[in-house]
Amino acid sequence: MKNYKINETALFMLLVLTSLLLAGCVAAQSDVHYSGIENSQLKQIDCGRTTREELTAIVGEPTEESMTEDGDEYLRYKCTETRDNQFAMFPPPIAIKDKKETEHTIVFKIKDGIVQRHWKEQ
């Protein structure tokens, strides 16, 4: 009878260890870094009223400037979002790293020193 109890305990321990190995450990992490114009800054821009000087005070100097023959000025701001994703699982030891970078440009049209409109270009 005692021998049977030892086998039952050993079987239980084997099942516990097996489930721990199968379940393993999973860890995931995602870091997001954004450089560019924030939505809160865009909300401060009042098209038809905000001056070019006020615009640059709010969002900084543009990445690129251009002017048309009509006197329209376009200020472009390059924005970048970087996502660093990491995933690890044990056992077996598996590690996956993924880095994704997306870019867009926010353009402001200025006429006679006043912001007329702005939009996002991909």
What is the total residue count of the chain?
122
86-97 per-position pLDDT tens digit = 878 776 778 889
What's the structural domain count of the chain?
Answer: 1
Residue 104's domain comprises: 25-121
CA distance from start to end of the chain: 75
109 lies in a domain? yes
Q: pLDDT tens digit string along 6-30?
A: 677 888 878 777 766 666 677 888 8
For position 94, what pLDDT does the model report?
81
- What pLDDT sits at residue 22? 65
10 found inside a domain: no
pLDDT value for 21: 66
* Per-residue confidence band for 2, with pLDDT thresholds at 50, 70 and 90: low
Is 5 domain-assigned?
no
Please check whether residue 72 lies inside any domain of the structure. yes
Q: 31 near 84, Cβ under 8 Å?
A: yes
The residue with tokens 């954004």 is 34
119 pLDDT above the threshold of 90: yes
Q: Is residue 93 part of a domain?
A: yes
Judge whether 14 lies within some domain.
no
Query: Does residue 13 belong to any structural domain of this protein?
Result: no
Mean pLDDT of 80-104: 87
Q: Is position 61 within any domain?
A: yes
- For the stretch 23-71, pLDDT in tens is 667 788 889 999 999 999 999 999 999 999 999 999 999 999 999 999 9
Our CA dihedral for 35, 41, 43, 48, rounded to 10 degrees, sits at: -110
